[in-house]
Amino acid sequence: MNKICSILLCILLLHSCTSKSVHEYTPLNYTELDARINEIEDIIKVRDTEPVKSLWRSYLLASTKNSFDDDSEKVFAECEDSIISFLQKSIDDKDYVTASKYFSSLKSVESKKIESYASWFSHDNYYDNVNVNVNDNDKEIKADEVTSQVEQLSEVKVSDFLSGTVTVWVDRGIKVEKGMGYADRVIGSGFFIDDKGHFVTNYHVIESEVDASYEGYSRVYVKLYKDSATRIPAKVIGYDKALDLALLKTEAIPPYVFSLGSSADLDVGDVIYAIGSPLGLENTITSGIVSAKDRYLFSIAQVMQIDAAVNSGNSGGPIIDKNGNVKAVVFAGIMEYEGLNFAIPVEYLKTLLPALYMGKVEHSWTGFYGITKKEFPSSQKGSGVEVLYIMSGSSAQRSSLSIGDVITHINDISIEGVEHLQRAMLGIPQDSIIQCKGINSAGEAFVKALYTEVRPENPLYDVYQREPLARSFLPIFGMDLTPSSTLNKNVYTINSIIQGSIADENGFSVLDPVEVKRNKLLEENQILYAELFTRKRSNAYFEVNIAIAAPLDSPFIF
């Protein structure tokens, strides 16, 4: 009897490794009168608390109006009026980032009520007011109190730019190891970006200052150029964990303020300079070249690879050209890339800066997976982003985005490939509406409005939790599976393989039979591990067990 119980327990445990709960989602049927009436009632209830989402929902409802004589158009007009009032209030409060979100959302649903605001938002410099109005109590700094800028010198040397950098010192008290106490501190670098004392560094340098899960002591200071003995208090203004950027402020008068340049004119082989405090050795300059561009180390943006020597302590320092223009921000300390160095292009900092002045930055997503669409396999230029997967219940699904759609524009920004879509999404806040244009699988043009939600830290974990196992394998591993057995629900056939995916790199082929023997989450739901049994067609039906693993974040999920 005990043996039988043990066998049953083992079967139960094995079953638990290959099955999971799935959250079923049923799309709203806009052709049913009851569904439309219920949707209108729900929209009215949350119109004042979720104005942008209500506008989007009312737009979807009004755009699918048929023979029913309901109030969908009236509700849409009321939601427009509600957003207009929020827009005006944001302008009155000088909250220009939020005002921009409301304006762009109204524009995405082709509102006719924003004409009076169009000229106001067309000014290129309206974001300039953000920096001025974030901290009304900031000490004013007169122009003659700031040391003459380096570009005014007749002969500029790279060493002149040291005065605009700081050593960031995070004091985390004492840590005890094996009964002995040690000073616990984090050292990084930073650089001034305005004459009010705002400076940029990496998020991971000041993480203990803002991480709610950190329970220890933490205080952040800076050391200025030529004054390594004085630690000046600083405070965190805003941060972006996903892009490893942070904006801080100190009351010290900046000796020099850097100009934010552009990395667009950099090419592989171009000379750059890194300034920072490697291992605490302050005022260090190293030089090198751009080794590569467009590396996918972050899921939401591409970074550049450099060969200038940087070490722990360089994190957050500037990468500059010979004229002192900031081209990128150093980030260091990636264990799996030991010996290689990387930097965040300055364009991302410039895009996020208005939001960093406002506090924590949260990125957006709509819930679809796509890859660059190319007319020919060997083509270097893409013609858009092809949608290969749409998460159940996501904004993308509710907006009727379809598999096979090719996205060519987001908010009138041309999209040639994944990297263009990444950059476009980087500048779009969560809780906003974006207009998506493209061509569907039948070759017909479409225009759709998508609502952006907060992008999870590991979005594919949401996919894994919400979808059946076979469906989740497409965005996670790059293999499209179809059940092929009525006796064993874990047996599938591969329909397609995404080129360059984990499935492709592990030699899986179309029509290969696959049995999912085991799958489990690792590293606090950051990685999915799976053991698959297959008979590989490419190797004369050679039978083999293959273990694969994938991070639950991806640069191809939007």
Per DSSP, the residues of 77-121 read: HHHHHHHHHHHHHHHHTT-HHHHHHHHHHHHHTT-SS-HHHHHHH
User: Which CATH number goes with the domain that contains 329?
Assistant: 2.40.10.120
Query: Of the segments 14-18, 297-301, 479-483, which one has the largest average pLDDT value?
Result: 479-483
pLDDT at 205: 95
Would you say residue 143 has pLDDT above 50?
no
User: Could you tell me if residue 61 is inside a domain?
Assistant: yes
Question: Given phi > 0 = left and psi -120 to 50 = alpha, else beta, which region is 244?
Answer: left
Residue span of the structural domain in which 38 resides: 33-133
Helix 72-92 vs helix 33-46: crossing angle, to nearest 10: 20
Span of 70-74, 196-200, 260-264 with lowest mean pLDDT: 70-74
pLDDT confidence band for 174 (50 / 70 / 90): confident
User: Could you tell me if residue 461 is inside a domain?
Assistant: no
Helix 459-466 vs helix 469-477: crossing angle, to nearest 10: 160
pTM of the predicted protein model: 0.85
Whether residue 117 sits in one domain with residue 44: yes
> Length of the chain, please?
558
Would you say residue 275 has pLDDT above 50?
yes
What residue type is 264 in one-letter code?
Answer: A
Q: What is the pLDDT of residues 498-526, one digit of tens each?
A: 999 999 999 899 999 999 999 999 999 99
User: Could you tell me if residue 555 is inside a domain?
Assistant: yes
Assigned token pair, 307 = 């060969």
User: Could you tell me if residue 459 is inside a domain?
Assistant: no
Q: What is the number of structural domains in the chain? A: 4
Q: How many CB atoms lie within 10 A of CB 50?
A: 14
Whether residue 200 sits in one domain with residue 100: no
User: Could you tell me if residue 230 is inside a domain?
Assistant: yes
In percent, how much of the chain has pLDDT > 70?
85
Whether residue 427 sits in one domain with residue 474: no
Whether residue 50 sits in one domain with residue 182: no
Helix 96-108 vs helix 346-356: crossing angle, to nearest 10: 110
Whether residue 334 sits in one domain with residue 208: yes
Phi and psi angles of residue 202, each rounded to the nearest 5 degrees, phi first: -90, 150
Whether residue 287 sits in one domain with residue 194: yes
Whether residue 206 sits in one domain with residue 324: yes
pLDDT at 123: 52
CA gap 469, 21 in Å, rounded? 10
User: Could you tell me if residue 342 is inside a domain?
Assistant: yes
CA distances from 276 to 151, 160, 240 (A): 20, 14, 21
User: Could you tell me if residue 374 is inside a domain?
Assistant: yes
Hey, which residues does 198 pair with through a beta bridge?
A: 249
Whether residue 253 sits in one domain with residue 150: yes
Whether residue 191 sits in one domain with residue 166: yes
In this structure, what is the dihedral angle of CA atoms 356, 361, 367, 372, given to the nearest 10 degrees? 40
Would you say residue 138 has pLDDT above 50?
no
User: Which CATH number goes with the domain that contains 502?
Assistant: 2.30.42
Span 145-172, average pLDDT: 73
Q: Which residue, 114, 133, 152, sits at the end of a domain?
A: 133
Span of 214-223, 338-347, 497-506 with lowest mean pLDDT: 338-347
User: Could you tell me if residue 526 is inside a domain?
Assistant: yes
Which has the higher per-residue pLDDT, 215 or 431? 431
Residue written as tokens 């010198």? 153
Check: CB of residue 302 under 8 Å from CB of residue 296.
yes
Whether residue 300 sits in one domain with residue 189: yes
Whether residue 275 sits in one domain with residue 159: yes
User: Which CATH number goes with the domain that contains 417?
Assistant: 2.30.42.10
Mean pLDDT of the chain: 85
Whether residue 296 sits in one domain with residue 253: yes
